């Protein structure tokens, strides 16, 4: 009996446990039924975008080749070699890479860019559009050839000048700077002085003739090249050295003090001077400032590091190369620009500091608007995406026109939405729409109103249809790196932007590849078919 009672306790739950289980089941059933009665099932959230994906592969040959390739990129030829255009005229440039023997290299990839934005703009296919301001811009276009070789990535860069035909504003000699402008010399020393002529806009004016003169013979003498022979005793000679610059019949003179010392000071071995000392610009103007470092003999020094800064933020902005952009508020900003020259030496680090003043003109008289250009003049945008446009206008002298009022409109209504501030959202079907957007620029000059227009071509991209990988096959030595790139086109053959490429390897033993398509070969030799894998993703909005 004891055994039967024990078996019953094991196989059958106690009555209290059964009762609790039943109550819990009823409670859960009531909660579920109550929830169903008071709430409705939420509708699934439909996604706003879809992703189109395609995959492409490339192969790698890893070889123990040690010698450098004979057909390594060494130079680039740009065609045409001379670019002379009217304002806003376009031309398509091409490039050919060559090795050291002048033989063409067919597997080089070319990257185009514009070094001087005043010259115009260039696309990735080499199509260049000239700017509005006449003049010659040296080294304005840059192209870099990139080549994958068994010894790794090789590249070379060259530049091309651009000439924009038109009447260039006349330049006049406005000021002279003497280098250095506060010389400290020793008795018996021969010291070199230099002079530079500038336009009123602070640009260096080449071809100026200079005549030197020492007003006090007790200081010494100076020759036609600016070499000062010091014979005077230790003191400061006021306005003692004078130079007169002559350019196209215009004469400008300047004088400086000269301090004669018995013994040199430690800080007399390094001097730096900003060129020009005073900058006259209009609001928003761009200008490259320069600085010259001199030693104790007045000779120009090399190897110094220049550090540029602005002590007055309202004057504008300046970068590490001395490229200055004026602010919008007119005024005189004394010693706003600061440059520090740093030179490591045997006695430690030598430093010298100089300053330049900025005068931002008020621009009381507006010159008439001559031409306008939309920036950019053509855009490629995917459906639903936004592009920001602007307009640049020049006056009859090629300068930036002022007092402009710009309005935007879509000449083709179905291409997209365009607001008055230059913000465009593509809503049309994929395709090319010439002159789809129009900017109307008005300038009020007294009772007259000058009106100019500029148009923008719009290309709306479609669905990712075709992908290409370059190179399809590459040869590398172990430890060397090659660069792969992927391009995608839509159903109209338009090159797509904004694609996301995920790089990977089918076999990690052959090497590594980073997010930019740079593959570094491992130590295992052989031919690895389709080992480089690129998954290309395009995100598109779902039409509503």
Cis (ω within 30 of 0) for the bond into 347? no
Q: Which among 458, 512, 432, 433 is positioned nearest to 480, based on CA atoms?
A: 512
Contact (Cβ atoms closer than 8 angstroms) between residue 257 and residue 182 = yes
DSSP string, 75-92: EEEEESS-EEE-TT-EEE
Cis (ω within 30 of 0) for the bond into 274? no
Element (H, E) at 369: strand 369-375
Contact (Cβ atoms closer than 8 angstroms) between residue 433 and residue 415 = yes
Residue 162 corresponds to which tokens in the numbers above? 């651009």
pLDDT score at 348: 65
Chain position carrying tokens 């090497």: 511
pLDDT score at 244: 94
- Equal fold, 75-164 vs 369-460: yes
> What contacts 285, CB < 8 A, 6 or more positions away?
201, 325, 326, 400
Please report, for residues 104, 288, 483, 519, the alpha-carbon distance to residue 474 in angstroms, rounded to integers and kept in the order given.
18, 43, 9, 10
> What contacts 497, CB < 8 A, 6 or more positions away?
380, 382, 461
Chain position carrying tokens 């003692």: 240
Q: Rounded to an integer, what is the distance from CA 332 to the centroid of its chain? A: 29
pLDDT score at 510: 92
> What contacts 97, CB < 8 A, 6 or more positions away?
73, 75, 76, 104, 105, 108, 110, 145, 147, 156
Query: CATH code for 75-164?
Result: 2.60.40.60
pLDDT score at 5: 36
Please report, for residues 7, 63, 172, 371, 487, the alpha-carbon distance to residue 440 in angstroms, rounded to integers and kept in the order given.
98, 61, 34, 11, 36
Helix, strand, or coil (residue 119)? helix
| Radius of gyration from C-alpha coordinates of the chain | 36
Instruction: Please list the pLDDT of the chain residue by residue as tens digits (544 residues).
Output: 334 333 333 344 444 344 334 434 434 344 444 444 444 555 555 567 788 999 999 999 998 865 455 578 889 999 988 888 888 788 899 999 998 888 888 888 888 988 777 788 888 888 898 887 788 888 889 999 888 877 778 888 999 999 988 766 566 888 888 888 888 888 878 888 888 888 876 667 777 889 999 999 999 999 888 888 888 888 899 999 999 999 888 899 999 999 888 765 544 467 788 878 788 887 877 787 888 887 766 677 766 788 889 888 888 888 887 888 888 788 888 888 998 888 776 566 778 888 888 888 775 456 788 888 888 888 888 888 888 888 888 877 666 777 888 999 999 988 999 887 788 999 888 999 999 999 999 988 877 888 999 999 999 999 999 999 988 988 888 988 888 989 999 998 888 877 889 999 998 889 999 988 999 999 999 899 999 999 999 888 776 6
Helix, strand, or coil (residue 39)? coil
Please report, for the chain, the start and end positions of each structural domain, with discontinuous segments joined by +: 50-66+463-541, 75-164, 182-276+283-360, 369-460
Proportion of the chain in helix, strand, coil states, percent, rounded to 5: 10, 55, 35
* Cα separation, 438 vs 459, whole angstroms: 15
pLDDT score at 94: 92
Query: CATH code for 369-460?
Result: 2.60.40.10
Q: Which among 154, 121, 106, 88 is positioned nearest to 372, based on CA atoms?
A: 88
* Cα separation, 245 vs 208, whole angstroms: 6
> What contacts 536, CB < 8 A, 6 or more positions away?
53, 54, 55, 56, 464, 467, 486, 488, 499, 500, 501
DSSP string, 216-280: -TTTEEE-TT-EEEE---SSEEEEEEEEEEEETTEEEEEEEEEEEESS--GGGG-EEEEESSEEE
The CATH homologous superfamily for domain 182-276+283-360 is Immunoglobulins (2.60.40.10)
Contact (Cβ atoms closer than 8 angstroms) between residue 371 and residue 394 = yes
């Amino acid at each position: 009996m004891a055994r039967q009672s024990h078996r019953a306790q094991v196989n059958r739950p106690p009555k209290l446990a059964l009762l609790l289980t039943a109550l819990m089941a009823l409670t859960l059933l009531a909660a579920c039924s109550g929830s169903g009665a008071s709430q409705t099932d939420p509708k699934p959230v439909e996604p706003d975008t879809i992703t189109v994906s395609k995959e492409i592969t490339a192969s790698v040959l890893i070889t123990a080749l040690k010698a450098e390739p004979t057909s390594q990129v060494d130079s680039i030829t740009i065609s045409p070699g001379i670019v002379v255009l009217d304002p806003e005229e376009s031309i398509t440039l091409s490039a050919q890479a060559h090795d050291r023997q002048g033989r063409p290299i067919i597997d080089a990839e070319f990257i185009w860019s514009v070094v001087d934005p005043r010259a115009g703009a260039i696309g990735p296919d080499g199509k260049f559009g000239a700017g509005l301001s006449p003049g010659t811009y040296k080294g304005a276009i840059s192209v870099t050839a990139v080549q994958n070789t068994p010894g790794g990535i090789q590249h070379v860069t060259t530049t091309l000048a651009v000439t924009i035909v038109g009447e260039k504003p006349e330049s006049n000699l406005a000021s002279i700077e003497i280098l250095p402008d506060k010389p400290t010399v020793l008795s018996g020393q021969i010291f070199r002085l230099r002079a530079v002529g500038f336009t009123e806009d602070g640009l260096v004016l080449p071809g100026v003739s200079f005549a030197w003169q020492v007003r006090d013979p007790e200081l010494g003498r100076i020759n036609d090249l600016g070499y000062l022979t010091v014979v005077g005793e230790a003191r400061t000679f006021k306005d003692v050295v004078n130079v007169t610059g002559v350019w196209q019949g215009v004469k400008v003179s300047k004088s400086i003090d000269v301090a004669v010392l018995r013994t040199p000071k430690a800080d007399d071995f390094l001097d730096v001077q900003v060129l020009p000392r005073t900058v006259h610009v209009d609001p928003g103007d761009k200008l490259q400032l320069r600085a010259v470092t001199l030693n104790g003999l007045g000779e120009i020094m090399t190897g110094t590091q220049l550090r540029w800064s602005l002590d007055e933020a309202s004057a504008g902005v300046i970068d590490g190369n001395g490229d200055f952009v004026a602010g919008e508020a007119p005024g005189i900003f004394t010693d706003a620009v600061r440059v520090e020259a740093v030179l490591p030496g045997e006695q430690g680090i030598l430093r010298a500091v100089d300053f330049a003043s900025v005068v931002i003109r008020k621009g009381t008289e507006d010159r008439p608007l001559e031409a306008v250009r939309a920036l950019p003049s053509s855009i490629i945008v995917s459906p639903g995406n936004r592009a920001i446009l602007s307009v640049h206008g020049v006056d009859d002298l090629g300068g930036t026109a002022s007092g402009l009022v710009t309005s935007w409109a879509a000449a083709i209504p179905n291409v997209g939405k365009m607001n008055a501030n230059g913000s465009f959202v593509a809503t049309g079907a994929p395709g090319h729409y010439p002159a789809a957007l129009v900017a109307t620029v008005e300038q009020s000059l007294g009772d007259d109103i000058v009106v100019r227009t500029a148009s923008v071509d719009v290309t709306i991209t479609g669905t990712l249809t075709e992908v290409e990988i370059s190179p399809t096959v590459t040869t590398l030595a172990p430890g060397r790196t090659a660069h792969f790139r992927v391009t995608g086109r839509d159903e109209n053959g338009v090159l797509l932007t904004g694609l996301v490429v995920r790089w990977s390897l089918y076999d990690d033993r052959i090497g590594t590849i980073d997010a930019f398509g740079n593959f570094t070969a491992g130590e295992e030799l052989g031919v690895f078919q389709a080992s480089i894998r690129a998954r290309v993703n395009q995100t598109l909005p779902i039409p509503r």
